[in-house]
Homo-oligomer: A and B are copies of this chain.
Amino acid sequence: MSDAPLDRLKARLGEVSDINSAVSLLHWDQEVFMPPKAAEGRGQQLATLSGLAHRLFTDAEIGQMILQLMDKGDLSGDDAKLVSEAAYDYNQATKVPEAFVQKFAIAQSKAYEAWVAAREASDFKTFQPHLETMVSLLREKADLLGYEGSPYNALLGEYERGMTAEELKTIFGDLAPRQGALVDRIVNASQQPDLTWLDQEWDPDTQWDISMDVLRDIGYDFDAGRQDRSVHPFTINFDTKDVRVTTRIHPKELFSGLTGSIHEGGHALYEQGFLDKDRRTVLGQAISLGIHESQSRMWENMIGRSQPFWNRYASRLQVAYPGQLDDQSPEDFYRAINHVAPTFIRVESDECTYNLHVIIRFEIELALIEGDLTVAEVPEAWNAKMKQYLGLDVTDDANGCLQDIHWSHGSMGYFPTYALGNLYAAQLFETIEGAIPDLWKQVEAGDFAPLLGWLRSNVHEVGRRQTAVELIESVTGKAPSADAFMRYLEGKYLPLYGLG
């Protein structure tokens, strides 16, 4: 196997990877440290560098190098996978012509501005024409990318390759009524958690210190990353050895900063876990957004909202806030942090209702892309579904169909990955509980290394060698479905609400 042509391809792709790392750093800095007046210049720098990365990656020479390597057919294992994944990315990137990318970017920026104003005024009407443009551009984009079945599959494939609208309809169609029924029982349960003790001021610096400790405990490597503050928490990497997280801390919220840190920490553990030898290559990348989200949700919810976790950390918080938490038991923490209450806002919603928010969005955007719903009908459809799935009467568009940024960015096919992340997480976690019988003892002892070790070998180090469905099937022995997640929810929440 002569590697000279492969090495040349790797060098070229490495260059593109380095530029994308610089783009990520420009983004990170913008969210974390950039002074306000720098915004215009930063926008220009981002446009130039992103454009350059695209231009260099879609260079015809790279296409020829890939073709030649595939034609020769003498590669195997990782090398073959690297080339076929590069070929996939190359085809995706070259299917959409530069002119369309520019047209789309202009529409995006107008739609985003209109969305900010419309949400401010809680007036869908002013956003409507922009959303109409975005839907029509997204259908055009689906045609450019190509698809089988629903045009929605082309868009979904950008985030969750291999997943289809048809499959999602089956999975979500099973999930929604089961989850809805559970929420219904919980809301009407007579045994509700006491939340009054949470109504205090929680020193932000102390919150910060706790979140840093917990990140360290779960295995986040601070020599290969750092935590900072930002308005919206996020995880970003410039390299497997430089994966950074941010968090947001409110003095009135005891848990949201910490759970945010654990969530981003879960994302970061994934990216810190790619193999060294995959650095600067397509193999050292996330499989899909759903798998990415499975890692953050598993750490946040299955670990960070578990009783054993709070058996360990309740005292850490009690020591940190002297006199503020003396009357609380670990069970009180566990009950409070798992409080279920339907809300209008997705990002404020709990584990039991979260997927229902996602399914509402999926059903609406699928209908928009397939032409079964007009943009003008979105608020009505939204409000009807909120009533149906969550029992809530939406008061206004700001608390309804205008709450998310995604559609203004032209991101459709993105939302389902949030719910898939929850399902993947539950499915993986059932396997993990079988593979590590002492898991909960270890969590209670603050020893997260066996869990992280399992995730490293079975998920993180896979990189892009499998698709999400392939990974779930090979690791758990089953196709993605709602079952494990429902078992997890019911196993946790029925006893919690005295519905056992």
Q: Which residues of A contact B (CB under 8 A)?
A: 14-15, 18-19, 21-23, 25-26, 29, 33-38, 40-42, 44-45, 48-49, 52, 221-226, 238-242, 279-280
Contacts and interface: CB of A to CB of B under 8 A. Distances in A.
B48 A19 contact: yes
A354 to B, nearest CB: 32
14 contacts: A15-B52, A19-B48, A22-B23, A22-B26, A33-B33, A34-B242, A35-B222, A35-B225, A37-B224, A37-B241, A38-B241, A38-B242, A41-B279, A52-B52
A45 B18 contact: yes
A180 B166 CA distance: 86
A19 B52 contact: yes
Q: How many copies does the complex hold?
A: 2
A184 to B, nearest CB: 47
Q: Which 8 pairs between the two chains have the least Cβ-Cβ distance?
A: A41-B239, A38-B242, A18-B48, A37-B241, A37-B224, A22-B22, A18-B45, A37-B223
B29 A29 contact: yes
Contacts of A221: 37
Given A241-B38, A242-B37, A44 B280 contact: yes
A23 B26 CA distance: 10
Contacts of A225: 35
Nearest to A11: B48
A125 to B, nearest CB: 36
A234 to B, nearest CB: 16
A222 B48 CA distance: 26
The prevalent SS among residues of A at the interface is helix
Contacts of A223: 35-37
Contacts of A242: 34-35, 37-38, 41-42
Contact of A22 (B25, B34, B36, B37): B25
B29 A45 contact: no
A207 to B, nearest CB: 20
Nearest to A22: B22
B280 A35 contact: no
A224 B26 contact: no
B21 A45 contact: yes
Contacts of A44: 14, 18, 280
A313 to B, nearest CB: 25
Given A35-B222, A35-B225, A221-B37, A18 B241 contact: no
A45 B14 CA distance: 9
Contacts of A25: 22, 25-26, 29
A38 B222 contact: no
A36 B221 CA distance: 11
A241 B30 CA distance: 13
Contacts of A226: 33, 35
Nearest to A226: B35
A271 to B, nearest CB: 13
A26 to B, nearest CB: 6
B15 A48 contact: yes
A11 to B, nearest CB: 10
